[in-house]
Structure 1
Amino acid sequence: MCIFFTPPFEMAVVALGLNSRPARQVFGDFPGSVIWNPNTQLSEDCLYINVVAPKPRPRNAAAMVWIFGGGFYSGTATLDVYDHKTLVSEENVILVSMQYRVASLGFLFFDTSDVPGNAGLFDQLMALQWVHDNIHYFGGNPHNVTLFGESAGAVSVSIHLLSPLSRNLFSQAIMQSGSPTAPWATIDREESILRGLRLAEAVGCPHTKAEMPAVIDCLRRKNATELVNNEWGTLGICEFPFVPIIDGAILDETPQRSLAAKNFKKTNIMMGSNTEEGYYFIIYYLTELFRKEEDVYVSREEYLKAVRELNPYVNNVARQAIVFEYTDWANPDDPIGNRDALDKMVGDYHFTCNVNELAHRYAETGNNVYMYYFKHRSAGNPWPSWTGVMHGDEINYVFGEPLDPRKGYTPHEVELSRRMMRYWANFAKTGNPSKSEDGTWTATYWPVHTAYGREYLTLAINSSETGRGPRLKQYAFWKKYLPQLIAMTTPQPAPEPPACVTNSTGAALQPAWGLGHRWRWGAAAQLPLAAAVALASLLRLDGTFV
């Protein structure tokens, strides 16, 4: 049985296992949704490793270690879409996956020795140590281990690139639609504690910091299902209840600081994102507006309201800048354009721009970086056509599902899957997706992503297009312009004036910021000059947003 909240103390034997809960059943038995729901029995007996090796057993084969995603609140290594057999048999690699604790059982944090946080990451760390020590028994090379994962799995992979505890247990890394700098990837320690106390309150436990021993004792006595079912409070889009924190062990500083200081494993990485990353989360979040049907359109009024709902933590000036950035000013009332803009807004902020950031930081230090942009929508995709190529849509191509004739993929899709499996396996074997173990090269050359050129390869049927980026303009907006704008337009408390300051007439002077240091938007002179200029650029003369 998994001990609640604490790091693992013993490695489980090789077997199949499961540790997570089903995703919320917003769409019932809809095929596009249920593929992500756990397909085996839920159990607290959860820390297992799966190993699939070719026959006959290879010698010194490259090992690929898969870390599943699911927002750190759901998921399992045993989903059908992760079926290991095709990739192993086609590419002669050893494929390993592990279960790790998720949700409050894996990421509850109370800043105590009993509940130190990041238990799920320590599960992963122990699995990586096991692979390092034992993969040779399966014909694998412990000195050629590639981590790969998607979404929260990609965040996990990237955290291991940053962590001093795990960075020496593998060789290189592949990250699909995830980065440690994503806004949902980590939360600060205080917020994590508050979420834990809210969970305690929801299940009828003591719920104040002063009662922490009683809080922990009460939570330990609760049924795991009760805990998981009460985790979701009022959270925004792409906010997950319990996620990694900076614990001083797995992570000794924020990912942003690690990247800025170049404090990470220097190695080859491969990463990318999909063209419509945002829709998968929007359709679960704005369910009334984004219905599961073909005829979904968004009026200008609905667009503006959705921007407010999707960006609740920025000030009004920043929110207006977001509206401006994602509006097609040639046709601002286009209901299709407004709908698609919301997808790009969410996808850029939560996924694509953070992937770009990590790739750029790695390229700056001279590492070989390979970027992709996945653009193919499967012919049999059950979601409405406007959802495009959503979050996670590349996974079945990486694991070779199209090669199963029962799945009904087209011949072109089978070929795309073969090409992607070869890229992933080549990277695991040689560190270069274009170069095979025998020295041969793929028909399409995948360029190195440099800090100057920002090169990427398009992954789609009959496409070998390369480009710069992707979405560099939006990357600059979210990572450069918007943070500066927010800093310039966020009120700062003024220092208290001396108690008895007077003017030449002896009259007492009021503080320059007004009574109570209240920020008065009506007085433009109170804004720093640069902020006033930025604000003015967003407004009409009559003060309303363009």
Structure 2
Amino acid sequence: FHGVPFSRAPVGDNRWTKPEKPTALPYAEGDYYDATHARAGCPQLCELPSPQYVCPDQVSINAEIDEDCLHLAVYLPSRLTKVTIMVFFYGGAFTAGANGVLLYDARFIAEKGDVVVVVPNYRVGPFGFFYQDTGDTDAVLGNFGIWDQIKALEWVQENIQSFGGNKKSVTLFGQSAGAQSIAVHMVNNYSEPLFHGAILESNPFGITYKNKTEAQDIADKFAKHMGCRDEATTAVDALACMKSKTMEETLAALRNFSIVNQINPNSLTQVFEPWAPVLDEDLLNEHPYYTFLKGNNHDKPMIMGFAKDEGMFFILQIFPEKSETLKTRGRTLSSRGECIKVINYKINRLYILYCGKLRNSECDNRNPMDDLVTDYLFTCPSRRVMNADASSNNVWWYMFNQTWSFPEFWENYTKCYDLVCHSAELPYLFDVDKLTDLSFTDEEQVLANNIIKYWSNFAKSGNPNQMSRD
């Protein structure tokens, strides 16, 4: 079932407000709702590699973008009696992604895993993570993309039994920004009763989030960029002006808004996710990383893991080409000192460990940066979270280490052809070779089947190595 609405459309005056339950299905004609095709993805400027697989505004996918985007897809197995539920949240750095793209077609997870899979859209970019404090106590401040996810989980609790699902057995799984979203659900009280287990794939715990002051500053600058804010304009009037802009006008302004230049230099990792959850003192009082370390997260079983070369995907966004000096966008990694300048990290042990062998030579100096970013954003914080949580909950850990036989999947990131980069497990998890021009080897098909088995086992039993709780 595609295009099932779980919220009223966040358009017009409803832009930048919390999602609300729709009054009724929007029947086009007759007494039925057409759920045979995907609806639009949420507004975005999707600049991910291989957009034909992951971007909703690609003609080849037959999915558009529109503010009326809060729909979900439901994939069913052949058995329809109290089936375990798995809810997937897509990644995309909180700036891109949609449930109608080829990569996230979950039919084979449902079929092979004998689970119901729900894939909701949620708002991204400034439509999902714009933060505005107007001074009106009734106004919603931000984190709309996360509120969308919560509303989708509430829909599951209210409606999934009509699809044969068991609302008392709901597992969240997501990758990258989707995994970060799940970490938010693991630490806030609004989400706690809505799910029972979590699978976090490639969660960059090391990326920091903006506090309210930082987020408000970005919002004011974006409003000014859109021609809606000056020294004489109130926050309420600025917000009304921004809501009057069309989706196309807002995206055009976003394209020309250099948000990266607005990032706090002491929070350099935010360059990878300039629009992201805000520490709003409602959903989030602190970064989930610290909540986990304190043991204040929800008591639920969890799988965590990452790919071997996670960092390269991020390094390539800054340094797409190999060069002896790597002079790209005004940055240089030609020496150990410049390496430290770029990462803004002046600890001597890291200096020696990661950058000690860099010279002006023919070697690709992006490789040690891959190691550093992988460790700093993924490996080290994830291991600390896992060790802290394992004292009171069941936690499983994995590292994905399979290179692709179809490297053209990330057509714009050739450096990843021989590595195991960010998102490397997704084609196997969704078994996408049957829906695309990709082709798995026999060994890769076994791997795909095993990932689906482990994930669905965990959803059913709380243990990836056990099929049921019986």
Distance 1:190 1:385, change over 3 A: closer
- Aligned 1:356-371 pairs, distance under 5 A: 356-364=383-391, 366-371=392-397
Q: Paired residue for 2:311?
A: 278
- What TM-score do you get using the length of structure 2 for normalisation? 0.82
Counterpart among 53, 59, 81 of residue 35 in structure 1: 53
Q: 2-side partners of 1:209 and 1:415: how far apart?
A: 63
Distance 1:324 1:207, change over 3 A: farther
Letter in 1 for 2:371: K
Contact 2:133/2:141, CA 8 A, preserved across alignment: yes
Q: Helix, strand or coil: the match of 1:354?
A: helix
Counterpart among 182, 186, 205 of residue 206 in structure 2: 182
CA RMSD of aligned residues (A): 2.7
Q: Helix, strand or coil: the match of 1:301?
A: coil
Q: 2-side partners of 1:326 and 1:435: how far apart?
A: 40
Letter in 2 for 1:60: K
Counterpart among 59, 80, 94 of residue 81 in structure 2: 59
Show structure 2 runs of 5+ residues with no match. 1-8, 26-32, 261-267, 325-330
Q: Paired residue for 1:496?
A: none
- What TM-score do you get using the length of structure 1 for normalisation? 0.71
- Aligned 1:322-401 pairs, distance under 5 A: 322-327=350-355, 329=357, 335-336=362-363, 338-364=365-391, 366-382=392-408, 383-384=413-414, 388-401=419-432
Letter in 2 for 1:421: I
Q: Paired residue for 1:214?
A: 237
Q: Paired residue for 1:68?
A: 90
Contact 2:80/2:165, CA 8 A, preserved across alignment: yes
Q: Paired residue for 2:265?
A: none
Deviations 1:378-422 (A, max 9, x none): 111124355511111111111122456852111111111011110
Letter in 2 for 1:259: F
- Aligned 1:218-237 pairs, distance under 5 A: 218-231=241-254, 232-235=257-260
Q: 2-side partners of 1:290 and 1:174: how far apart?
A: 38
Deviations 1:73-122 (A, max 9, x none): 11112221111111111121100011111111111112244341111111
Show structure 1 runs of 5+ residues with no match. 26-30, 292-297, 440-546
Contact 2:293/2:389, CA 8 A, preserved across alignment: no
Deviations 1:174-209 (A, max 9, x none): 000115x4324x211111011111111211121459
Letter in 1 for 2:67: E
- Aligned 1:112-511 pairs, distance under 5 A: 112=134, 113-178=138-203, 181-184=205-208, 186-208=209-231, 211-231=234-254, 232-235=257-260, 238-289=271-322, 301=334, 304-309=337-342, 311-312=343-344, 314=345, 317-318=346-347, 321-327=349-355, 329=357, 335-336=362-363, 338-364=365-391, 366-382=392-408, 383-384=413-414, 388-402=419-433, 406-437=437-468
In the TM superposition, what is the alpha-carbon distance from 1:5 to its structure 2 partner?
1.1
Q: Paired residue for 1:88?
A: 110
Distance 1:207 1:244, change over 3 A: farther
In the TM superposition, what is the alpha-carbon distance from 1:256 to its structure 2 partner?
4.2
Letter in 2 for 1:225: E
Tell me which moved more, 254-263 or 140-149. 254-263
In the TM superposition, what is the alpha-carbon distance from 1:424 to its structure 2 partner?
0.6
Contact 1:52/1:94, CA 8 A, preserved across alignment: yes
Q: Helix, strand or coil: the match of 1:273?
A: strand
Distance 1:306 1:406, change over 3 A: same
In the TM superposition, what is the alpha-carbon distance from 1:251 to its structure 2 partner?
2.1
Q: 2-side partners of 1:379 and 1:169: how far apart?
A: 39
Letter in 2 for 1:37: C
Within the alignment, does 1:44 sit opposite 2:34 as a pair? no
